[in-house]
Structure 1
Amino acid sequence: MGGGRGGGLGGGEARRAPSEQPNLVAPVDVPALSVRFWVLVVATGVMAGLAGTALMWLLYTAAHLTYSYRSGSFLAAVEQVGAAHRVVALAAAGAVAGGGWWLVRWWTGPGGSEVSTALWRDEGRLPLRRSLSTAVLSVVIVGMGASLGREAAPRLAGAALAARVCDWAGMGTAHRRLLAACGAGAGMACVYNVPLGGALLTLEAMLGVLSLRSALPALAASCIATVVSWVALPTGPTYRMPDIALSASLIVFAVVLGPFAGLVAVGWVRLIRLAHAHRPSGWRLVVAPLPAFTAVGALAVLYPQLLGNGKDIVQLTLDARLAAPTLVALLLLKPIATAGSLGSGAAGGLFTPTVATGALLGSLAGQGWAHAWPATAAGFAVVGAAAVLAAAMQAPVAAVVLMLELTHTIDVLMVPLLLAVTGAVLVSRRLDTPSIYSARLPTQ
């Protein structure tokens, strides 16, 4: 991570050739923050909070219409429907993904709608109509059971709205890039109730800048968006944690697991890069999601945990409710299902699928470890989740804070998390691995 630059740019347009992995190579320029810019930061936080809330309402509506889901565990709703229902539901989601892509392109015209591409290649520019349409399509198919993350939609909507208000206000490129990143972080912060984690994700993974000048707007936007979302979205932790006692066993486990988690993250990122590189184009993008999603639905006949973003998988590992054979199967199938869905051309996120992969790894390794040196099962899962997430995002500080906010567990797990994350990130960087965000950048 690079530190912030000392000199302000005002409204100027300092140019730098974009890097393949900006949070490892060169930070973006940080502009001077005027009163007008701070007004835009507040507006960005409010808009991101409202957009995130609306998108989550759409997601829950899609889940209710597809599985009669109302609240609580999405997995419970999936398990209550028959095997044929799961296959048909995912086939329908594939049809929606393909047909929706055609409608979005027909309505908005050609153009990109990736936050990473906008920040690192397109000077923070995002087409508003296309971005919002893609965000809506993304949450609908996730609500229908697609094995993709839900965070892509609020990130995209927040970034696009921020970029548009920046253009309306006549701000320059450096301001637009910073504000779009703040909008993306705020969008994620509000739907997961992680204001600090959303801000750190903005700085570490999207901007590569850890400086006071960049931190203040990121924190403000994420906090404002989170407060706005409290009107309708849950305010508690995403995951319920049992009581965890710090032990020497858990600390040593974290040290040992870290490098292995780094290797898993490297494989995961490379799988995502491969899937993204082979995404279909043209008319194939309309039909490709149907067989890909149907295949995931067929796998869900035996493993209903595969449906959705993976939140319930993480909770099951925290509660130690998965046997070793199921852990092995899900550890193999969940990344494949997510990469296959993404590779078919569908729009979706990778945050919770990455957390789920790490939790499965930690829980599986912890079951074996506990035979020789017992420790709390939930601790194994959280350590694995944080380590894989940090290495996959190339954002160790953000990953630790995100896991602490998602679980509301701070004091007990801090040392094991830091140890595991350090080992995982060192291995992934040694192998010159990009983040899950830059791995999806278009090749030049």
Structure 2
Amino acid sequence: MSSPQPNLDPGGDFGWRFWCLAPVTGVAAGLSAGLLMQLLHRVQALAWGTGAADFQAAVTAARPLHRVLALALAGLVAAAGGLALRRGRIRAGPAGGGHSGELSAAIWFRGGRLPFLRTLAQGVLSITVVGLGASLGREAAPKQTGAAFGSLFARGLGLSPSHTRILAALGAGAGIAAVYEVPLGGALFALEVLLGSLALPLVAPALLASGLATATAWLLLPERATYAIPAEPVSQALIAFSLLVGPLAGLAAAAYVRLIGFADARRPTGVAALIAPVPGLALVGAVAMGLPQILGNGKDLAEQLFTGGLAWPLLAALVLAKPLATALCLGCGAPGGLFTPTISFGAVLGGLAAYAFSRVVPGAPPGACALVAATAVLAAATQGPVSAVVLMLELTRRLDAMMVPVLLAVAGSMLVARFLEPRSLYACRIREIDRAAQPGDPAISVAAPYLAVLRAMPVDGGPLRVFDEAGAYLGPVDADRVRAPCCADGPLSTATAGDFVVLARRVP
């Protein structure tokens, strides 16, 4: 009898249909990401007279009133786009709605099912608003679009909910890989952050999708590092800074996640959703009259800190203004991402901490300090330390020389963040209605992981009832399938209660 192999998973046999769709999803994500970036550059050129490379310089050179008017226009676009989507001009279909388009909710609560046309429209709306200057990230659009293609292909070939969820997440990671040229980081983001698992059966399809997406995007986008920074030597002062800034980054990340969760939970609804984006984004533009660095996704701001620094009074203002501007944009209903704004917040925090540290221990390069802190904040905010380090490595193509201080800072930030705020930037935006189980009526969330389902199974053989994020009853769990899952249910590390439910026709 042969010995079991620890690197083999009986649930890792995805089948030929899945393996055919993984590269197709990657190519589709790469093409859509390239087209979305072309749209971004055109919007920025029309609004600010420049492309993405000189965005911060153009915003700074613009008249203060121009900044207010451009952001007010972004609010009008967000309100009009939201109205068009809500009125059904682009129909959501049975899978539409919920959580303001937050991808994590669709992956976990709806088995990766995304309304294709609606999601594409949300992507176009998001990239337009970001191009006009909203303090949000550009990655939301290619991430959602890549996931929409993965979901569409999986449902078209009749894949199981478990495999549909995985393909949608791989498409999202491929979208990030394409837009930032981070093939390994995009794959790890899909696995660690979106799926919460680095199971070996998932690695190969994730790498395939992200690699092809990045190569495809090169047809439309230039091949270069996102952040052009010089190499920095590692010194004892930088090591000491990393040990101190790690816990500070974890504390800041926890506060940042709670701020984003607070803002997202208070997004306007109804008539207010048609009004709030205009004054909300105009207020951001008004603040930008004195602090133009808060506009846009923060890429130029972070690069400026990675290559040198800013005066400490400006850093002290930005360390509060930039995350508040991002939260305000999100809270008033503007669509956009959080990836690059989080990096810029971490860079500002690192720059400010480096200034204070240099008063006591000179010798730590301020650019390297900002880069270390940005990586630590990103890791803690996304709850994805491995993907954060690899993403920053690929974004800068310089981080390998500073790996020791980076890992020390990331470890410190993760320890503090896990204690203070275990949710990620994406999980904090999932609003699930709690339903207390009654005696003799075991209940579980549709997004509960497989191991939680096993633990919750009633010992008396009674039904385990499954409820969705709105508290609606879906049906009982198929106990036989839970105890003896098939290949279509795996890998079990990403399976949820919804994959094993017997759909109910009515609420009993």
Q: Does 1:111 align with 2:109?
A: no
Q: Does 1:94 align with 2:78?
A: no
Contact between 1:166 and 1:175, CA under 8 Å: does it hold in 2?
yes
Equivalent of residue 7 in structure 1, options 6, 10, 14: 10
Q: Report deviation, 1:271.
A: 0.3
Letter in 2 for 1:375: A
Equivalent of residue 55 in structure 1, options 29, 36, 40: 36
The number of aligned residues is: 420
Contact between 1:4 and 1:214, CA under 8 Å: does it hold in 2?
no
Q: Does 1:420 align with 2:409?
A: yes
Which residue matches 1:170? 158
Contact between 1:269 and 1:433, CA under 8 Å: does it hold in 2?
no
Q: Report deviation, 1:288.
A: 0.4
Letter in 2 for 1:155: K
Q: Report deviation, 1:71.
A: 5.1
Letter in 2 for 1:37: F
338-347 or 373-382, larger mean C-alpha shift? 373-382
Q: Are the structure 2 counterparts of residues 4 and 378 from structure 1 closer, same or farther at C-alpha, using a change threshold of 3 Å?
A: farther
Q: Report deviation, 1:229.
A: 0.4
Listed as ranges, the gaps of 5+ residues in structure 1 are 9-30
3-state SS of the aligned residue for 1:125? coil
Alignment partners' CA distance in 2, 1:248 and 1:230: 40
Letter in 2 for 1:7: P
Alignment partners' CA distance in 1, 2:301 and 2:385: 22
Q: Are the structure 2 counterparts of residues 5 and 209 from structure 1 closer, same or farther at C-alpha, using a change threshold of 3 Å?
A: farther
Q: Report deviation, 1:4.
A: 9.3
Alignment partners' CA distance in 1, 2:432 and 2:263: 13
Letter in 1 for 2:430: L
Contact between 1:53 and 1:191, CA under 8 Å: does it hold in 2?
yes
Q: Deviations over 1:248-291 (max 9, x none)?
A: 11111111110010000000000001001111101111110101
Q: Output the TM-score relative to the length of structure 1.
A: 0.92
Runs (4+) of structure 1 moved beyond 4 Å? none
Listed as ranges, the gaps of 5+ residues in structure 2 are 1-5, 434-508
Which residue matches 2:289? 301
Letter in 2 for 1:197: G
Q: Deviations over 1:306-331 (max 9, x none)?
A: 11000011011112241000001111
Equivalent of residue 354 in structure 2, options 360, 366, 381: 366
Contact between 1:4 and 1:211, CA under 8 Å: does it hold in 2?
no
Which residue matches 1:324? 312
Contact between 1:4 and 1:209, CA under 8 Å: does it hold in 2?
no
Alignment partners' CA distance in 1, 2:293 and 2:8: 46
255-264 or 110-119, larger mean C-alpha shift? 110-119
Alignment partners' CA distance in 2, 1:219 and 1:298: 43
Q: Does 1:154 align with 2:142?
A: yes
Contact between 1:4 and 1:210, CA under 8 Å: does it hold in 2?
no
Which residue matches 1:217? 205
Contact between 2:309 and 2:351, CA under 8 Å: does it hold in 1?
no
Alignment partners' CA distance in 2, 1:6 and 1:427: 33
Alignment partners' CA distance in 1, 2:127 and 2:406: 31
Which residue matches 1:433? 422
Aligned-residue identity in percent = 48
Contact between 1:254 and 1:417, CA under 8 Å: does it hold in 2?
yes
Q: Which has the larger radius of gyration?
A: 2
Spell out the pairing of 1:23-62 with structure 2 (5 A cutoff): 31-62=12-43
Q: Are the structure 2 counterparts of residues 192 and 118 from structure 1 closer, same or farther at C-alpha, using a change threshold of 3 Å?
A: same
Q: Does 1:140 align with 2:143?
A: no
Q: Report deviation, 1:369.
A: 1.5
Spell out the pairing of 1:221-232 with structure 2 (5 A cutoff): 221-232=209-220
Contact between 2:376 and 2:406, CA under 8 Å: does it hold in 1?
yes
Alignment partners' CA distance in 2, 1:74 and 1:167: 39
Equivalent of residue 269 in structure 2, options 281, 303, 310: 281
Contact between 2:130 and 2:138, CA under 8 Å: does it hold in 1?
yes
Q: Are the structure 2 counterparts of residues 4 and 78 from structure 1 closer, same or farther at C-alpha, using a change threshold of 3 Å?
A: farther
Q: Output the TM-score relative to the length of structure 2.
A: 0.81
Aligned-CA RMSD value: 1.4
Q: Report deviation, 1:70.
A: 3.1
Which residue matches 1:18? none
Alignment partners' CA distance in 1, 2:349 and 2:254: 14
Which residue matches 2:226? 238
Alignment partners' CA distance in 2, 1:81 and 1:68: 9
74-83 or 110-119, larger mean C-alpha shift? 110-119
Q: Report deviation, 1:5.
A: 8.9
Q: Are the structure 2 counterparts of residues 204 and 71 from structure 1 closer, same or farther at C-alpha, using a change threshold of 3 Å?
A: closer
Which residue matches 2:377? 388
Q: Deviations over 1:380-417 (max 9, x none)?
A: 01101000000000000001111111110143111111
Q: Does 1:81 align with 2:62?
A: yes
